[in-house]
Structure 1
Amino acid sequence: MEPTAPTIEQLQALIETTTTINMEVFYWWCTAFMVIIHVGFLAYEMGASRLKNTLASGVKNILAFAFIIPTFFFFGWWIYLAMYNGFTPDFAAGAGGLPWSTSMGPNMSDHASGIFWGAFVLFAATTASVFSGAVIERIRMSSFLVLAIILGSVVWILGASWGWHPDGWLTTEWGFHDFGAAGCVHMVAGFFALGVTMNLGARIGRFAEDGTPVDIKGHNMPMTVIGLMLIIVGFFGFLGGCMIYNGSGEWTTIFGTPVTLSAVSFNTLMAASGGIIGAYFITRQPFWMMSGALVGVVSCAPGLDLYYPPLAFLIALIASMIAPLTDRFLTKRFKLDDAVGAFAVHGMGGFIGLVALGIFSGFPNIAEGTPNISFSGQLMSAVVMALLGFVPGFGLSYVMAKMGMLRVPPKAEVAGLDLVEVPLEAYPESNPSSKNNTLTPTSAPTEPTSTVTA
């Protein structure tokens, strides 16, 4: 029997099926690369901790990842779909995000919901990881998890609904544009961390009796630097998740504007290199060089789809010089103990990024009638993102602090959170953490040039 040539309808169906599968495969691997971000944060924070707190810092990240996934399933995705107008939900629009919706499970007629949800839940987990680094070595595990769930499954996704949803009010009313989520992910998380850090207080021994900052060194700087590099690797998945795959046409941003992988590749690599160089000029420290790479990408994230590559390099260079100076100022002037500079990197980096796009861009936005990208629109939107992160972070942690629920007791902090919260020692054979705890709550170092180690 001779083979029959496929009909036009059959060929069309095959093309459509292939397009759908390609879309799924793209976001599948974006999500996998985004998990590498959390491998990086895990190594980064464990290396930045002293021996006695190594595993506790890692466990915080692992548990935040685990708790945010189900909570984002049960109510986080609904917030994104329903709350784009502000605080008044659109129940009809949010119906597809209810946990019992047919879109929220295996469904042969819906190839998109689960794969997009997977990317978004990894964005949510990233916000918790950003916050986690700022509060290492003294926060209670239980209070951290409550705050992480609120940040990752409520606060950031509310910002995403306002400014990263096609109908979000920040975009339709102010022309907000933020291709790489510098606002709703990085700024919100950074300002949330700032609010919590203000109420949490500094680690024991972080400041001398006269208020002079005392350096507390992590036990493994190479691990920290490698972790930061892994975060850069994961960023390529993160930024891929910021694009919409159209098998029959051009890529678009989440705002519906055209974009190419080529543009994002040019600008991401230029931003990372500019960030490293800028931080090197200011600090000469490998930690800040790799943190500078993060600052560089974050500060260019709003316009990675639009910038000419040398402009991305310049913005990243400037932002990565500002970030360590910001962290230094907050530490010396306000006695804030942000252990890894999370606010300076993500909060300040995101703020610079949103405002810079307003300065350097007058590009049109989504559709006719929508305001163009403007300085005022970007600046006002940045203020909204800052308040959205800071107010709940400060308010919730203030209540927890007043109730005695936010911070571990001084004796537990001195003993080390590995023994108290995990309980297990990271290096029991050669460096038992209990043998390295020489500080007591009343014996903080008084010599300004001294260093507190593990």
Structure 2
Amino acid sequence: MMEQSAPTLASLQAMIEMSDTINMEIFYWFCTGLMVIIHVGFLAYEMGASRLKNALASGVKNILAFAFMVPTFFFIGWWIYLSMYNGFVPDFEAGAAGLPWSENMGPNLSDNASGIFWGAFVLFAATTASIFSGAVIERIRMSSFLVLAVLLGSVVWILAASWGWHPTGWLTTEWGYHDFGAAGAVHMVAGFFALGVLLNLGARIGRFGPKGEVNTIVGHSVPMSMIGLMLIVVGFFGFLGGCIIYMPGAQWTSIFGNETTLSAISFNTLMAIAGGIIGAYVMTRQPFWMLSGAIAGIVASAPGLDLYYPPLAFLIAFIGGAVAPMVDKILSSRFKLDDPVGAFGVHGASGVVGLLMLGVFSGFPNVVEGAPNISFMGQLQSAVVMALVGFIPGYFVSLVLAKFGLLRVPPKAEMAGLDIVEVPLQAYPESVPAYNGKDDSGVSVGKTA
């Protein structure tokens, strides 16, 4: 009987390294799975915020945005991220790994990282589309929504991410930009993109009266929206996990290269959730806004979740949770913009708060060699870039669609309900009718200040 030889140091080292690689792969695998819960949340959130006659159409938008995002991000998005970090002139050598025919873009036993990182970024892309989706429910054409969602998720946000959420992105190397949780690249870009589209899409019929009155249009299920919002909060743990880099044999780092820990992210994320809820509660007392405030709180504290002392994360989240409903009220009462779920307030405005607050509480060194330290001016300038990257394409592409009559459904279709026109299927065929004819506008309750 042959004796089994003892493992060599080289074989033991190889086993340890492979174990580290597999652990890294497993971590991002489950982060991606948790991020899918975000889209379960958005699905319930937006369906609940829609009237019965539009409930399924709002849900279908989210499903199709997810489905269209995956192949378009495979063919376009990942290459943009890898190659466009210097601006609009691509680095073709760096982008080669993201080309659809690259060995990195498919089964490859020597590459355990590309697919798992690509998967996480696809879910970030889908999140931008879902943020935008809530702002335009109940009146946008499905086809135009999908065009805009793919533009946002597979081109616009990933360009912003390449500039400011990339280890050598020019916003970081030139201005010292720091944004651990993508408050700028994901949330601000999506929020300002939605704002640009809203300017051309217009309000739902009946949202504003002939004398400028602001009428409340209530979704058919506030509890469903609340459950959806809570699921989004759960999914954020996967989202934020995807923002931290697993370094086999070493400490975790942020995407910018500074060392951090999951413990730090845990402290600050939970404090941010609580701060956002309390901030929104103080301002509104509304359960819908309390849970929206939780998201706004996470977004506002996201840039420095890897750096903050937990009470500071709580304070910044409190501000974000308080600001979001105020901004939404200003948009509706003063500018007559109809954002049914407060997407701009929760994501766009809170993203601005987050980037600027990290600048206010600045002085943190930047680990990127040669880059300036984190500063208020660097964060402010970067916030302006993120806002413009989102707003400009959202506004001008939707303007073109509107000019050709492709952006919005006809008034008769809007009155009948998009479930009948776009799906077609009734959400609750055995219960109350989708539209009860209370008035010609479809407004379900009275006026609000």
Check whether TM > 0.5. yes
2:351 alignment partner in structure 1: 350
For residues 69 and 438 of structure 1, what CA distance do their matches in structure 2 show?
41
For residues 360 and 275 of structure 1, what CA distance do their matches in structure 2 show?
19
2:436 alignment partner in structure 1: 436
Deviation, 1:432, is 2.7
For residues 366 and 347 of structure 1, what CA distance do their matches in structure 2 show?
27
Opposite residue 449 of structure 1, the aligned amino acid is: K
Opposite residue 12 of structure 1, the aligned amino acid is: Q
For residues 28 and 445 of structure 1, what CA distance do their matches in structure 2 show?
44
Deviation, 1:216, is 0.2
For residues 168 and 248 of structure 2, what CA distance do their matches in structure 1 show?
23
Deviation, 1:445, is 6.7
The answer to whether the Cα contact below 8 Å between 1:208 and 1:446 also exists between their aligned partners in 2 is no
1:49 alignment partner in structure 2: 50
For residues 444 and 284 of structure 1, what CA distance do their matches in structure 2 show?
26
2:255 alignment partner in structure 1: 254
The answer to whether the Cα contact below 8 Å between 2:256 and 2:368 also exists between their aligned partners in 1 is no
Deviation, 1:5, is 1.6
State yes or no: 1:141 paired with 2:142: yes
2:413 alignment partner in structure 1: 412
The answer to whether the Cα contact below 8 Å between 2:415 and 2:442 also exists between their aligned partners in 1 is no
For residues 306 and 326 of structure 2, what CA distance do their matches in structure 1 show?
28
Opposite residue 300 of structure 2, the aligned amino acid is: S
- What's the secondary structure of 1:436's corresponding residue? coil
Structure 1 vs Structure 2 CA RMSD: 1.4
Spell out, residue by residue over 1:74-112, the C-alpha distance to the aligned partner (whole angstroms, 9 max, x if none): 010000001001001111111110001110000011110
Deviation, 1:369, is 1.6
2:14 alignment partner in structure 1: 13
Opposite residue 52 of structure 1, the aligned amino acid is: K
For residues 226 and 116 of structure 2, what CA distance do their matches in structure 1 show?
31
* Unaligned ranges ≥5, structure 2: none
1:100 alignment partner in structure 2: 101
- What's the secondary structure of 1:334's corresponding residue? coil
Relative to structure 2, which stretch is displaced further, 4-13 or 300-309?
A: 4-13
Spell out, residue by residue over 1:19-56, the C-alpha distance to the aligned partner (whole angstroms, 9 max, x if none): 00000000000000000000000000000000000000
For residues 404 and 212 of structure 1, what CA distance do their matches in structure 2 show?
27
Q: How does 1:8-407 map to 2 (within 5 A)?
A: 8-407=9-408
The answer to whether the Cα contact below 8 Å between 2:81 and 2:162 also exists between their aligned partners in 1 is yes
Distance 1:125 1:174, change over 3 A: same
Q: How many residues align?
A: 448
Q: Normalising by the residue count of structure 2, what TM-score does the alignment of the two structures yield?
A: 0.98
The answer to whether the Cα contact below 8 Å between 1:206 and 1:215 also exists between their aligned partners in 2 is yes
State yes or no: 1:449 paired with 2:434: no
- What's the secondary structure of 2:373's corresponding residue? coil
The answer to whether the Cα contact below 8 Å between 1:209 and 1:446 also exists between their aligned partners in 2 is no
Distance 1:47 1:445, change over 3 A: closer
For residues 129 and 317 of structure 2, what CA distance do their matches in structure 1 show?
24
Deviation, 1:437, is 4.0
The answer to whether the Cα contact below 8 Å between 1:414 and 1:437 also exists between their aligned partners in 2 is no
For residues 388 and 269 of structure 2, what CA distance do their matches in structure 1 show?
27
* Unaligned ranges ≥5, structure 1: none
Opposite residue 250 of structure 2, the aligned amino acid is: G
The answer to whether the Cα contact below 8 Å between 2:275 and 2:314 also exists between their aligned partners in 1 is yes
For residues 188 and 62 of structure 2, what CA distance do their matches in structure 1 show?
19
The answer to whether the Cα contact below 8 Å between 2:216 and 2:445 also exists between their aligned partners in 1 is no
Opposite residue 436 of structure 1, the aligned amino acid is: N
